[in-house]
């Protein structure tokens, strides 16, 4: 099981998913700004090298974040956490990953990407006997542009758009655009950010099944690309490849908006562990 999780981590950090690559290629094709084309060309080259040489596409291999959908009848529930921690250690040495876990007081690096509550594991209990693990390595530069807004209900969806557009404009090239945005609206401060991060697991180009939300995703994408921040913040037509919004009910007095910014290195992979011990890894 540990080796299968290491394989998923390797897939995530060395191979950018096809939907992301297609969106980057389309951005390259429609771009007429030379600097933007140069930057997109370099990004596509880094992706190709990662894929053919099986090496990480970016030196920042991120903080490993796992979303676990744990079937309540799985015989492995009690072991998954240990497997994830051990796989993180093994992946750090074998792939290798950059050691990215430091003590918040001393700054000392643990050296193996583990530490207090790291790797980050989000749990959801689901019916059934299988366990699905999503692997999301999250780079620090883009994470630094993530933010939370506690809007008033009166500000509503116009307020959401204003907050997101202003934040992306202020961040410029810091999150290594073209970015993918995960946005969680509703719940509370904590849950909106969790929804936002989980939204990044959706494929680029896939709209929210609720047509009203899908429309807002499209409008926000257009507004962000109209900013002209462009690839790596040096101008151009594509600042964002996609916008993913997830919603949940909210307190009548609150309108929380969690924004998680993901860079062009929009990495993910999945593992499914069946009750008989068989394992699938995919992207």
Using CB under 6 A, list all residues that contact ligand SF4. 58, 60, 62, 139-142, 175-176, 263-265
Contacts of 173 (CB under 8 A, 6+ apart): 229, 232, 233, 234
Q: How far is the CB of 139 from ligand SF4 (least distance, A)?
A: 2
Q: Which is nearer to ligand SF4, 71 or 175 (CB)?
A: 175
The smaller minimum CB distance to ligand SF4, of residues 17 and 275, is found at 17
Query: Taking a C-beta distance cutoff of 8 angstroms, is the pair 89, 113 a contact?
Result: yes
156: β partners: none
CA dihedral 10, 12, 18, 21 (to 10 degrees): -110
Distance (Å, rounded) from C-alpha 41 to C-alpha 67?
32
Smallest separation, CB 104 to ligand SF4 (Å): 20
* Nearest-approach distance from CB 264 to ligand SF4, in angstroms: 6
Give whichever of 62 and 187 is closer to ligand SF4, judged by the CB atom: 62
Cβ nearer to ligand SF4, comparing 138 with 161: 138
Nearer to ligand SF4, 100 or 225 (CB): 100
Nearest CA among 68, 86, 85 for reference residue 77 = 68
Q: Is 152 exposed, middle or buried (0-12, 13-18, 19+ CB in 10 A)?
A: exposed
Token representation of residue 142: 């883009």
Distance of alpha carbon 76 from alpha carbon 54, whole angstroms = 30
CB of 259 to ligand SF4, least distance (A): 15
If the CB atoms of residues 175 and 256 are measured against ligand SF4, the closer one turns out to be 175
- Whether residue 197 contacts residue 183, with contact meaning beta carbons closer than 8 Å, is answered with no
Round to whole Å and give the CA distance between 3 and 33: 44
Question: Closest approach of Cβ 134 to ligand SF4, in Å?
Answer: 18
Which residue's beta carbon is nearest to the bound ligand SF4? 139
- Look at residues 112, 95, 136 and name the one whose alpha carbon lies nearest to residue 6: 95
Q: How many CB atoms lie within 10 A of CB 154?
A: 8
At its nearest, how many Å lie between ligand SF4 and the CB of residue 224? 17
Minimum distance, C-beta of residue 265 to ligand SF4, in the bound complex (Å)? 4
- Residue with Cβ nearer ligand SF4 (12 or 133): 12
């Amino acid at each position: 099981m540990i080796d299968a999780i290491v394989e998923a981590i390797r897939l995530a950090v060395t191979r950018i998913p096809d939907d992301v690559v297609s969106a980057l290629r389309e951005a390259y094709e429609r771009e007429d700004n030379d600097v933007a084309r140069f930057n997109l060309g370099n990004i596509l080259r880094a992706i190709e090298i990662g894929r053919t040489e099986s090496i990480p596409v970016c030196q920042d291999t991120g903080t490993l974040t796992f979303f676990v959908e744990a079937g309540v009848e799985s015989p492995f529930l009690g072991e998954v956490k240990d497997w994830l921690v051990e796989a993180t250690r093994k992946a750090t040495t074998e792939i290798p990953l950059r050691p990215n876990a430091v003590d918040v007081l001393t700054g000392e690096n643990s050296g193996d990407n583990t530490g207090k509550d790291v790797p980050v594991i989000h749990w959801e209990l689901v019916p059934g006997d299988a366990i699905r693990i999503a692997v999301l390595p999250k780079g620090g530069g883009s994470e630094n542009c993530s933010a939370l807004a506690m809007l008033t209900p009166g500000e509503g969806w116009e307020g959401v758009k204003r907050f997101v557009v202003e934040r992306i404009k202020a961040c410029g090239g810091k999150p290594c655009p073209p970015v993918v945005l995960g946005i969680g609206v509703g719940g509370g401060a904590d849950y909106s950010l969790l929804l936002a991060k989980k939204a990044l697991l959706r494929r680029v180009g896939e709209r929210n099944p609720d047509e009203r939300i899908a429309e807002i995703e499209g409008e926000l994408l257009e507004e962000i690309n109209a900013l002209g921040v462009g690839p790596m913040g040096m101008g151009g037509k594509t600042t964002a490849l996609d916008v993913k919004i997830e919603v949940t009910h909210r307190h009548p007095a609150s309108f929380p908006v969690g924004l998680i910014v993901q860079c062009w290195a929009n990495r993910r992979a999945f593992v499914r562990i069946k009750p008989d011990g068989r394992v699938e890894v995919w992207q």
